[in-house]
Amino acid sequence: MTIMQIIFLITASVTLFAALMVVSTRKMMHAAMWLILVLFGVTITFALLETRFFAIVQLVIYIGAIAILIIFAVMLTRRSMNADVPQVNRNWWLVMVSSLALFVGLVTVMSVWEGFFVTARTAPPGGENLVQLGTALVDPNGFVLPFEVASLVLLAAMVGAIYVAAERKEK
Amino acid sequence: MMIDVGRMMLEILPEIGLLILIGVVLVLDLFWRKSRKKLGWVSFAGLLLIFVLTLVFVQPARLPQLTWGGMISLDMTGYIFRMIFIAGAALTVLYAIANDSLAGRGEFYLLLLTSTLGMCFMASAADLIMLFLAIETTTVPLFVLAGFLTRDQKSVESGIKYLLFAAMTSAVMLYGFTWLYGFSGTTQLYQIAERLKYGFVPQAAVVAAMMLVLVGFGFKISAVPFHFWAPDVYDGAPYPVAGFLSTASKAAGFAVLARALFVIFPLQTETWTLIVALLSTASMFVGNLLALAQKNIKRLLAYSSIAQAGYILIGVAADSPLGTSGVIYYLSAYLLTNLAAFGIVALVGRAVGSDEISAYAGLSRRSPALALAMLVVMLSLGGIPPFAGFIGKLLVFAAAIERGLIWLAILGVINTIVALFYYLTVLKVIYLYRSEEEDKPLAVSSAAGTALVICIVGIIALGVVIAPLYGWSTDAAATLLFLPR
Amino acid sequence: MGIPVSYYLVLSAIMFVIGILGVLLRRNALVTFMSLEMMFNAANLIFVTFAAYYRVLTGQIFVFFVMTVAAAEVAVGLALMVAIFRTKHSIDLDQMSSLKG
């Protein structure tokens, strides 16, 4: 057990505890806060892999944008659920059992793969090669096509979200 | 390395055309405050132009070619499917022009065009990254389109429902992608296949990744057991969107499904043939049996479209050139037929104010032309010659028999007979039942009329003149099985 | 020093399954949304792990795009939820026209 492993295990257990709280807590705002903790746990895991750039991006996009957006929605739709009504579906035990089966299945299948027990390599010291990443994104023989398409998705999402959420007066 | 930009641009001409059209719509929407209805005609004209340009200039070489850094593969499959999507979008635009609550909204055309662009990339994507983005480009606008009538609670709910199902299945699919990437170290479909073949990856792991990926594709084609969203979403979404979802979006799902299975998993053929055959059987039975009980025509069409996905899956399960060309033929026929069906349902629904099948009583007297169109559509869906649906069914059943999947072909035929029952019930209501309002004629706007005429002519043409499209689909099927240069 | 690949994969698998649990179990649309974000994060974790392992960029680029798409999806989803809340004052999935399946 090395120090890195201990750090990893602590991060992992906090992350997973927070994840469980997200799906089990009754209060929406609390769930959103736990979600931020989950996202932060993932950030630390990225950092453990020396993927520094993506740790920052995770922090900025997921916690800074997505989680905040969700919190806005929680506040805008307040009083939407009273906490007394049952919060889960009726056949919850069936879901539990099948999820457990899914997990066991996933891990079993992965563990037969030879790379499973290999020590993970981190990104090269000094973090990932950002210049390479940047040029790959705009290289016609690289990823320029998905890059442009991604911008289109964002445009469509923006137009769509404004259209749907904008309050219009009756004509 | 020299990069020939002109050639590369030409290779994605339809996508660039769509992008320009999106820009034009966006700008015109600002300036034409008074007469936004013209936007629909602009979109239609643009799509028509792109269709012709694609037809003439983007003819691919015989052998598939990877381009844009291996992101997309240029082949007949991509070529035909692009045209299917663009045609579907053009017809949907015509129906939208006829729909008062959609016609005046620039956002509608913009989102529809974006979704079409995503589909075009779905059909030719040869890289997991491109594939994922293409799928999301297709679905994200569709969430808004399904919930487009923000005043109508049912419509917004159908948008949310579609979004939750789509996001969940795409997360599962993405998890499958991570495994494929993890086992192979690359995202290029052809390289993944190569590495899976020569690497030491256990079969169980590959099959598990395949199942995860199939969840995402199963959702797109609304196959059982990933079909729960379809009836509610079709019911709530605006009519043209429901038509678009059930045809173009489904065709895009099949394009991706066929390419992924043929290219990435050639070694697991026995496994996936069985899985696809089971999905097909379940879809046919669940779709048809539930359709029998429906009183609402939109829900009936939703279950019928689940069953149709089942028939088309027979062609995929056959895993042969004949089967794949059957899939493409079937999808083209189905696109025209189902778009016509939703067009008629929209016209009647808006005139009568109800989607119940009983509201169709006396239609044959109110509008003989519409009733005749419905006759053609229902018979084509049921697989009766001389309409397009018959040829599609014939090809996929023949492919199943050719590959020894006789049980599947028999189940398909049984289901076709069951399905005829509810298609004919609709026709019975239209032709034999009387209603008090049957002396009031039903108005058909010029846009919807044009679209219907195109669809009906297409259905009959594809049912009679088989050779051209069949030849193309056969070429397309062949390219899917070749390795690209 | 080293942490086995299996640690990351198992962490990701547990997160993924908890996400699925949340989607299937909870009736509140917003919690469903948060669970979906956890599922996407589980996938990202694997991508980053393997990108570092193989020393190839594609995994990281994939993560980049997954984040973009997740942001787009969340924006549209939350807009739809605000729209439905305006008319209905509830985002309980079961209160929406029930799934007749």
Q: Are B111 and C47 in contact (CB under 8 A)?
A: no
Which of B310, B325, B313, B322 minimizes the C-alpha distance to B272? B313
Taking a contact as any Cβ pair under 8 Å apart, which residues of chain A between 58 and 87 contact chain C? 58, 61-62, 65-66, 69-70, 72-74, 76-77, 79-81, 85, 87
DSSP E strand stretches across A39-143: none
Rounded CA gap, B205 and B349, in Å?
A: 50
The Cα–Cα gap between C82 and B149 comes to: 14
**What does the pLDDT read at residue B362?**
84
- Coil vs helix vs strand at A2: coil
Is B30 near chain A, with CB under 8 Å?
no
Domain A3-88, CATH among 3.40.50.12160, 3.40.640.10, 1.20.120.1200, 3.90.1720.10: 1.20.120.1200
The position carrying tokens 């429902």 is B161
Predicted local confidence at residue C97, as pLDDT? 47
Asked if residues A112 and B202 have their Cβ atoms less than 8 Å apart, the reply is yes
DSSP, collapsed to helix, strand or coil, labels residue A119 as strand
Between C26 and A156, the more confident residue is: A156
Cβ pair C73:B156 closer than 8 A: no
State the sign of the Cα–Cα–Cα–Cα dihedral B368, B374, B376, B382: negative
- The answer to whether B21 contacts chain A (CB < 8 Å) is no
Q: A73 and C19: CB-CB below 8 Å?
A: no
CA distance B460 to B439: 30
Inter-chain contact B157–C47, Cβ cutoff 8 Å? no
Cα dist from A6 to A9, A10, A11, C52, C63, whole Å = 5, 6, 9, 20, 26
Q: Cβ contacts (< 8 Å) between B147 and chain A: which residues? A: 164
8 Å CB contact between C39 and B175: yes
The structure tokens listed for A30 are 């609390």
Confirm or reject contact between C30 and chain A (CB < 8 A): yes
* Terminal-to-terminal C-alpha distance of chain C: 52
Q: In angstroms, what separates the C-alpha of A64 from chain C's closest C-alpha? A: 11
Cβ atoms of B132 and C67 closer than 8 Å: no
CB B316 within 8 A of CB B257: yes
Instruction: Give the mean pLDDT per block of 10 residues along chain C (101 residues).
Output: 84 94 86 93 93 86 93 92 77 53 32
Q: What are A28's two structure tokens?
A: 């929406």
Please report all neighbours of C, defined by 3+ CB atom pairs within 8 A: A, B
Quick one: pLDDT at residue B252?
A: 96
The residue extents of the domains of chain A are: 3-88
Inter-chain contact B187–C58, Cβ cutoff 8 Å?
yes
Identify the CA nearest to B344 among candidates B445, B421, B435. B445
**Token output for B128:** 């997991």
Give B-chain residues touching C42 at CB under 8 angstroms.
Answer: 175
Amino acid at residue number B135: I
Q: Do B156 and C80 touch (CB under 8 A)?
A: yes
Q: For residue A95, which residues of chain B lie inside 8 Å, CB to CB? A: none
- The DSSP letter of residue B237 is S
> pLDDT tens digit string along A41-92?
999 999 988 888 899 999 999 999 999 999 988 888 776 555 555 556 667 7
Q: Rounded to 5 degrees, what are φ and ψ at B24?
A: -60, -45
Contact between chains at C22 and A42 (C-beta distance less than 8 A): no
Q: Which residue of C has its CA nearest to B286?
A: C101
ipTM for the whole complex: 0.92
pLDDT (tens digit, 0 to 9) for every residue of chain B, 485 residues total? 566 778 888 889 999 999 999 999 999 988 887 777 788 999 999 999 999 999 998 888 778 888 888 899 988 888 999 999 999 999 999 999 998 888 888 899 999 999 999 999 999 999 999 999 999 999 999 999 999 998 888 899 999 999 999 999 999 999 999 999 988 889 999 999 888 888 778 888 899 999 999 999 999 999 989 998 999 999 999 999 999 999 999 999 999 999 999 999 988 889 999 999 999 999 999 999 999 999 999 999 999 999 999 999 999 999 888 999 999 999 999 999 999 999 999 999 888 888 898 888 888 888 889 999 999 999 999 999 889 999 999 999 999 999 999 999 999 999 999 999 999 999 999 999 887 777 777 888 889 999 999 999 999 999 999 888 998 888 888 887 766 65
Nearest-Cα distance to chain A for C37, in Å, is: 9
Nearest to B423 by CA among B294, B335, B234, B233: B294
CB-CB contact of B207 with B302 (8 Å): no
| Residue of B111, B137, B160 best to disrupt the C interface, most CBs of C under 10 A | B160
Residue A23 DSSP code? H
- Cβ-defined contact of C76 to B143 (cutoff 8 Å): yes
Ranges of each domain in chain B: 2-481
CB contact under 8 A, B130 and A149: yes
Tokens found for residue B255: 């394009």
